[in-house]
Each structure stands twice: as structure tokens, then as C-alpha cells.
Structure 1
Amino acid sequence: MQSLLFLIDQVIGLYMWCLIIVVAMSWLASFNVINTQNKLVSQIYDFLYRITEPALSPIRKRLPNLGGLDISPVILILILVFIRNLLREYGGGISI
């Protein structure tokens, strides 16, 4: 059981990093710091977008329109941190 909880905790941590990277890449692409025409950059961004968008789109639907500001990744990261803390507290004391 301890191994399963550890694995879930690690997957949640990896997913949070994917969220942070996709947000950073979208900012960098908006300011023309990275070239989205580059095939490698495009593939990495497309992969990260495909794995994060299913979790972000329901949050975006429930949020009010804030203009060009999208806070759905922040909300999702807060939810994931809450779930990780629950796992650590009630899941047998995973020490990470």
C-alpha cells in the first residue's frame, strides 16, 4: 500500500511540473522567445498541452472571464497540492 501511495504522489508531482512547463512555454511562445515553428518545440508543447488540457478545461468552464488572464493552472496546482497533502497525512505518512 505504501508503494502505491508513493507512486501516486510521484505522478501528481510530475503532473504539476508538466503544468508549470506548459504555462512557461505558452508565455515564451507569446513573447516570441521560443520558435513554435521548430518541430521539437512544437512536439513537446503539443504533448504537454494534450496531457494537461483535459484537467484544465473543466476548471476554465467554471471560472469567470478575466480577460486575457487564465488562472486555471494555478487552481489546478492548488488542488493537486491539496490532494498530495491528504495522501501524505492520511496515507500512512509518506515522507518525501
Structure 2
Amino acid sequence: MANLLLALSILLLTFLNRGSVFYTAAVEYKPAPGIAEQRHLHTDDRRMLDPFQLCLDCRCCAANDSSICSMMPCCFGIDCNLPEKPFGVCAFVPKTCNCTSCQ
């Protein structure tokens, strides 16, 4: 009976912690400011493309404390409306931290 209770307790904890057996504090992370890469977009022969996202490592910091940072996979998207940049300059910009797949 004790083994059954132990197994059910571990199963419940795993479910509550979204698959993680060990409890970790729920910390919201956001991408650290900065731009990963800039490229000039040629406007000749432009065509509309589907949104492009890529999962790469980036530095993410806790939303409430910018001194707590960690490298984790982030969803990067292409942003061509960059402030203080000329028209046509685009960059890969982190959109979300801790991605498993960018959809």
C-alpha cells in the first residue's frame, strides 16, 4: 500500500510540474535586449512570404530581475520595422524564451 501511495504521489507531482519530477520555481523569462543579426533587405523583386521563425539559443533574463539570466532556446522571428534603422534593415529578434518548437 505504501508503494502505491508513493507511486501516485510521484505521478501527481510530475503532472503538476508539467513533466518535471523536481519542483522548480516558476520564473517568467523574457529575451534580453539586443539584436542578433542585421541584414539589408533589397526591395527589388519583393514577394510576400509566410512568417519565418527559428529556434536558437539566446540569453534570457527573469522579467522581474535582469541580473538573473540564463541561456535557453528562443523563438526568433524576422523584424523589419526596427526603430532608428533605415527602411529595409531587418534582423532576427528573439520573440519568446524556452521554446520547444516555433509555430
State if a TM-score over 0.5 links the two structures.
no
Normalised by the length of structure 2, the TM-score is 0.22
Q: Which is higher, the Rg of structure 1 or of structure 2? A: 2
* Bigger RCO of structures 1 and 2 (CA < 8 A, at least 6 apart): 1
Q: Counting strand residues as a fraction of each chain, which structure ranks higher?
A: 2
User: What's the TM-score, normalizing by structure 1?
Assistant: 0.23
